[in-house]
Amino acid sequence: MWLLLWFFAALAVTGDGLGSDGSKVYVVYMGTVPPRTSPDLLRQSQLRLVGTVLKRGQKAERVVVQQYKHAFSGFAARLSKDEAASLRRKPGVVSVFPDPVYQLHTTRSWEFLQETAVKIDSARRSTGGAKAAAAPPATTDTIIGLLDSGIWPESPSFDDAGFGPVPSRWKGTCMTGRDFNSSNCNKKLIGARYYDLGEVRGPAQSNSPRDQAGHGTHTSSTAAGNAVTGASYYGLAPGTAKGGSAASRVAMYRVCSEAGCAGSAILAGFDDAIADGVDVISVSLGASPYFRPDFSDDPIAIGSFHAVAKGVMVVCSAGNSGPEAATVVNAAPWILTVAATTIDRNFESDVVLGGNNSAVKGGAINFSNLDKSPKYPLITGEAAKSSSVSDSDSASHCEPGTLDTSKTKGKIVLCHHSDGDTSKVEKVDVLNSAGAVGCILVNKAEVAVATTYLDFPVTEVTSAAAAAIHKYIASTSQPVATITPTTTVTEYKPAPVVAYFSSRGPSSQTGNLLKPDVAAPGVNILASWIPTTSLPIGQKQASQFNLVSGTSMACPHVAGVAATVKSWNPTWSPAAIRSAIMTTGATQLNNDRAPMTTDSGSVATPYDYGAGQVHPTAALDPGLVYELGEDDYLQFLCNYGYNASTIKLITSLPSGFNCAANASKDLISNLNYPSITVTGLSKTGSRTVTRAVTNVGALEESTYTVTVSAPAGLDVKVTPSKLEFTKSVKKLAFQVNFSGKNMAGKSTLSGSVTWSDGKHMVRSPFVVTI
């Protein structure tokens, strides 16, 4: 169970597992599939191309590990450095790059989203604002595809009782593999594929769609799992577990193992998902912000570009490298990028101190069997320092090898924990093995994320709570305490809070584009899981559910919302769906109706949560949407700094296409995005951006007026201030001018532009950096 902490990492490396001959896997990308070219013809031509660089007697079939032949053309093959270089020079090859390895970004959440949204809607109605949309239809035939670690088909979340026939447009398959056959699919889980993972090796590297990590099962059930009553994690978080779009079908594309996700497999998953007929692709994985590839070498950016061009919505996790700024990944404008927030549920495990039996609140998941009375000796790590260790600070943090086990045996040990320390799990394991009876971790940053410790009594407290424990220890010669087993606390406040691990903007790639786009629950999320042998004492059967945290968990929440919007509006483009999700109902308030905060208590900004936390149903009727198409994204790439030759590394270009001579990153601010970002505004200067909105409301003739919320020191003017739509006028443009006044000492300013017709409120956040 503790291995789940591995999912919180967002590291990425380039696969360098060299073969005995020095070869490794390369991705050979060949752009869009030529018109009227069959997959079989494409497959054969790719094999012939590989054969031209191989030594005599080598067969192309033996070195090729993936072939892309539906939405785009290319392949992945195990090649030498010289062979890869030769392929780069071949006609029709647009790029060749080493196969990258990405990492996974690892029931109350839906109830909390709806309850919070209802409160916000109630407040809006009292001031004449938007009304909540009606409940979604009872049945839909939307299909959510997930690129992940596989699926556990026996989970009740994927039972197909009550589902009708598989949609006739579905072209996918249910691949057979180890411990998995076609009968594991049904009318709910309609497809499952797996891929060769190239250089990614690990215990879960198997030829099967079956999930051996748990991650893919968790994300799938969060996005589209059936409602399962009586769900819990060994009694914690009891209730009904369900997905955001429970009526949607599920298709799994296993591109990951516990060791990572191969870029070549990710591209294959995109290629197949597009051809299979999915409506939404959910991707809870990504590169490291510190080793991020450019768009032209990023399998997620390339694959999602082709998906969106084919009308398939792509939702990705923002990454788990927070709270540092500029760590957001999956930041291409054709992707809907999701940050993580908490919900109003907490897992409390308290420290009861001797003397007056005062309780200090803590949080973690443990099934402690300690006596409820505070009778266990309590010692700090510093006081338990080994005589052979000179560093008292390392001992206070209980770093392995710094403590005298004779001093910790039979005691509860108070340990500080900081970034850069040995992992919490390893510290706890060492203490447990040395005979300690429990551990209190002082862990301010991560206290909101309930780490699972099973039977060993561990809780985590804030620095303020630790001060009370230290004070008690200093007040007596024989301090004693106990740690209580975890209880579930609901209606916890404040919530939502931006999770400490959630990657933040601004994007280092796209400074003039606000990322992340939205936030969703990603902390302590209860969803389906694979069977495990790590059981609490007294339990004979593994829980079918688990509590997991990460932007991985936030991403499928939004994928579920997107599928619901698609089911109501089947002709809408991915851009229209994203616009609806971002502009209608995404809230910036918590359940105290105060501004949402970060884990540190500071007021959160759009760089933390984008447009805000999603509203599960308001996006069904947005009134207005910001549309974008493939041509807009091509112009974005021009302004990003690519020329036409480089853009061809991502997609084919229309005949005669060339980037404008005045292309610049400042012009990215003019991309018709649902949010607005302007960088480099001088303290006395001004900048004007253009946007256009399309009326998708029930009334063809409607009038919208604008309201601006701007911070002191920034003048924001919208022209025109009124938009009048008619039967013949569906789309109207407007300009937003930003100019500074009295901005001394300010660097980043945020606010919003909101259009309303009295029923709909279409809110676009903006961020201006000085």
Q: Omega into 622 within 30° of 0, i.e. cis?
A: no
- The count of domains in the chain is 4
Q: Is residue 1 part of a domain?
A: no
Same domain, residue pair 252 and 329: yes
167, 298: one domain:
yes
Indicate if 29 and 155 belong to the same structural domain.
no
Contact 338, 516 (CB under 8 A): yes
Q: Is residue 477 part of a domain?
A: yes
Residues 253 and 222 in one domain: yes
**Which of 126, 119, 177, 129 minimizes the C-alpha distance to 153?**
177
CATH number of domain containing 258: 3.40.50.200
What is the domain extent for residue 454? 346-490
* Residue 198, in any domain of the structure: yes
Residue 136: its pLDDT value, please? 45
CATH no. for residue 390? 3.50.30.30
Asked if residue 640 is part of any domain, the answer here is: no
Q: What is the pTM of this model?
A: 0.91
Look at residue 158 and tell me if it is in a domain: yes
What CA–CA distance (Å, rounded) separates 457 from 445?
A: 20
Give how far Cα 360 sits from Cα of 453, 459, 559, Å: 19, 10, 39
Those residues whose C-beta lies under 8 Å from the C-beta of residue 661, and which sit 6 or more positions away, are none
Catalytic residues: 148, 215, 552
Residue at 159 is within a domain: yes
Same domain, 233 and 94: no
Same structural domain, 339 and 375: no
Same domain, 219 and 358: no
- What pLDDT does 725 receive? 98
Provide the pLDDT for residue 14.
39
Residues of the chain short of pLDDT 50, as ranges, are 1-18, 20, 107-110, 112, 117-139, 204
User: Hey, which bits of 155-204 come out as E strands?
Assistant: 189-194
Per-residue CA distances from 561 to 275, 371, 478, 554, 610 (Å) = 22, 45, 55, 11, 16
Same domain assignment for residues 302 and 421: no
Q: Quote the pLDDT of residue 673.
A: 98
- pLDDT score, position 534: 84
Q: Are residues 336 and 277 in the same domain?
A: yes
- What is the domain-level CATH number for residue 31? 3.30.70.80
586, 620, 654 — which closes off a domain? 620
E strands, 653-730, in order: 676-678, 686-695, 702-709, 714-719, 722-725
Same domain for 564 and 424: no
Residue ending a domain, choose from 556, 587, 620:
620
Among 556, 589, 620, give the residue marking a domain's end. 620
In the numeric block, the tokens 């992992």 are attached to 423
Helix, strand and coil in the chain, % to nearest 5? 25, 30, 50
User: Is residue 3 one of the residues assigned to a domain?
Assistant: no
Instruction: Please report whether residue 333 resides in a domain.
Output: yes
Other CB atoms within 10 Å distance of the CB of residue 349: 25
User: Are residue 679 and residue 754 in the same domain, yes or no?
Assistant: yes
Provide the sign of the torsion angle of the four alpha carbons 150, 154, 160, 166, taken in this order: positive
Residues 353 and 334 in one domain: no
